[in-house]
Amino acid sequence: MLVASVLSLKGGVGKTTVTLGLVSAALHRGVDTLLVDLDPQMNATTTVDPDSDPDNAGSNGRRRVSIAEVLDTPTAKVVGKALRTSQWGEHLRLLPGSERTEAHNHPDPGSKKLFRLAGALNKVSPAPELVLIDCPPSLGQLTRSALTAANRAVLVTEPSLFAVTGVQRALEAVQSERAAHRPTLQPLGVVINRFRPRVTEHEYRLAELKDLFGPLVLSPVLPDRSAVQQAQGAGVPIHQWPTAGAREIAQSFDALLDRLMRAGRLKTKR
């Protein structure tokens, strides 16, 4: 089971968009995938399962079980109640997000709390081939739990003034959790999102990121395409959106998934 956490310590850079693009690429390839929505904004959940709101009570008056309850009690029984099959297809299961997850975002949690998510993922049955975790844009218990559970970290940024600082902080967080709790954790690299060629500022920031982080800057960069917002608004995978822009960015996500899956195979061979 390959576990990848998608994170950014700066909001609004398209972290959830990258997570969903990787999910779409995995489904397009037939990879059995689990999406874990740790972001209390739960945008990933409402995109892949738009008719379900874990924070609203069902017909029996009880709230649906979400990742918040899993973090409360990470037993096989609770994990089983929280898991659901997404409307995106039979190869995608979801541990849905909830606003209640914010209660678990302690700034300085103990190690026992950090390992709850990793323990819960080991109780998912049947085990998925790929787990993608959408982290909140902050460095508290939720993001640190995701890193403690992961083999690879995907860092997301955009070509803006504060891109370098955000990537540096994210890399420091990965290195810290690797040293403290997860020796097998490695950064997959930095995904540059919403890039517009021939825009001077974007070209400058891309060159700056490549100069500072070298091979950690992943190729291809993700172009700024309206098809991404259109597909998310319609609640469908980008690979199913019928425009040229969608096909272009879907190919970019295919390439990123290739990189991620190769990293997973290398780890297994060792």
Domains and CATH numbers, the chain: 2-269 (3.40.50.300)
Q: What's the residue count for the chain? A: 270
Please, is 61 exposed, middle or buried when counting C-beta atoms within 10 Å of its C-beta (0-12, 13-18, 19+)?
exposed
Alpha helices for 74-225 (secondary structure H): 76-82, 111-114, 116-121, 141-149, 163-180, 200-213
| 226: enclosing H helix or E strand | helix 226-234
Q: Please report which helix (H) or strand (E) contains residue 154, including its range.
A: strand 152-157
pLDDT value of residue 264: 75
Tracing tokens 């891109």 back to the chain, one arrives at 163
Q: What are the 10-residue block averages of pLDDT along the chain, 270 residues in total?
A: 94 93 96 97 92 58 83 96 93 96 88 93 96 94 96 94 88 95 95 92 94 94 94 95 95 96 59
DSSP states of 14-55: -HHHHHHHHHHHHHHHT--EEEEE--TT-HHHHHHSTT--TT
pLDDT of residue 164: 85
